Amino acid sequence: MTTTQPPRTPLGSLPPREHLPLGQIATVLDVVIPVHNEERDLEPCVRRLREHLARTFPYGFRITIADNASTDRTPDVAARLDDALDEVTAVRLEEKGRGRALRAVWSLSEAPVLAYMDVDLSTDLNALLPLVAPLISGHSDLAIGSRLSRGARVVRGPKREFISRTYNLILRGSLAARFSDAQCGFKAIRGEVAARLLPMVEDTGWFFDTELLVLAERAGLRIHEVPVDWVDDPHSTVQLVRTAADDLKGVWRVGRALATGGLPLERLARPFGDDPRDRELAGVPGGLARQLVGFCAVGGLSTLLYLALFSLFRLGTGAQLANAAALLVSALANTAANRRLTFGVRGRHRAVRHQAQGLVVFAIGLVLTSGSLAALGAAGGTASHGAELAVLVAANLAATVLRFLLFRAWVFPDRERRDVPADLSGPVSPADPRGPTHPAGSADTTGPADSATPHHPSCDRNDVPRSTR
């Protein structure tokens, strides 16, 4: 079976979200079922899913059984289904891991929409079309089934309920995740998004999809949530304690990478103009409201840092020197935070220049605050520490307004935020000035280390490899 696919874009950029050209694509959806020792449930699951898709899904589909190192009769059942049903393909991997299986199959599939679900079919299949529809239409980048959002109907024991809700609270508290359910085995992703995200995901087990979601959310991609009907499988083989421990290790690893800037999320940026907040409207300064909120938040934290440093330095030196040192340290932190959080400039490009310009703005603030301290000293002789702090707060308010105007108009002007490349590790594509392209063979274009059974010469390029008989 041949499939006409839209051209793939370079790994350094993502195309604007658009409705898929459905008339040109034979296989729109590839549903992966990762399995390990599921000889009892596999066949009824696959037949039920195929019947449902044939009856309700209006486009071409494929069901891929990803057998990861089963030791029972699961490979034989998968091979039999592969032979009996045209829409079913079986893939055999020799190592365990749900994430490993998904990454291997998704990396090889050329379907524009990729999904996966657990073999027990705990999630009602009526949620499948609402799950993938926003990806087909171009509205969203990823979609997840949620058992914790309003409208979901869930039947499960208190132990699993407690673990699931606790885990999602941990994600919200530690990684600032905004999606409601990371663990539901019912997710989908657009193909071009998977091609960019998969090389960044390290986990090969149960934490795989959580890591995928966190990276996507931090990169600014849109995640659609579908409330699902879900009934717990009493025969589930998931080891809760071990899985929870692995998930917590994954949370720590991803949190540390995000905190240290170790993940090149800039490479997932959409082209400028894909986000409606990028649009210019007459009489409405672009992004002003969002920038003001970010600037105020950064400014509040910077002021607290500045006052704390001033009080600390004041213990060992005079007011003027303590003010200059505190203002310098807080100004460097303020410029870096505003660069990334308020004005959305990422990567290392022009970072030194921005800090130098920030120091000029700092000098203006220094003149204002030092002048205020000097005026206080001239007016009343020896001033109390409380009076010094009050004068500095007032002077900093004036300096803050001036700092925002200078940042917006001079340090991070709108044209520069559009033109600056996100990362200089590869050449910049003329079609996408915000993201680099990476030539074939570079570190970013290499596929995952884990792979499925080698592709058979007689298979179509679209078909994932069949299992070893």
Q: What is the pLDDT of residue 78?
A: 96
Nearest of 258, 109, 246 to residue 176 by alpha carbon: 258
CA-based R_g, the chain, Å: 27
| pLDDT reported for residue 238 | 60
**pLDDT score for 434:** 36
The 8 Å CB, 24+ separation contacts for 71-79 are: 71/37, 72/37, 72/39, 73/39, 74/35, 74/36, 74/37, 74/38, 74/39, 74/42, 75/467, 75/468, 76/39, 77/39, 77/42, 77/43, 78/35, 78/42, 78/467, 79/467, 79/469
CB 121 within 8 A of CB 48: yes
pLDDT at residue 450 in the model: 45
Give Cβ neighbours of residue 336 (< 8 Å, ≥ 6 apart).
355
Joined tokens for residue 425:
């590790």
Question: Which structure tokens are listed for 291?
Answer: 């920038």
Residue 176 φ/ψ region, left for φ over 0, alpha for ψ in the -120 to 50 degree band, beta for the rest: left
Q: Which parts of the chain have pLDDT scores under 70? A: 1-13, 234-241, 267, 269, 271-273, 275-287, 346-347, 380-381, 414-469
SS3 388: helix
Report DSSP state, residue 283: T
CA within 13 Å, CB half, 156: 22
Q: What pTM value is reported for the model?
A: 0.62
Whole-number Å distance between alpha carbons of 106 and 191:
8
pLDDT of residue 210: 93
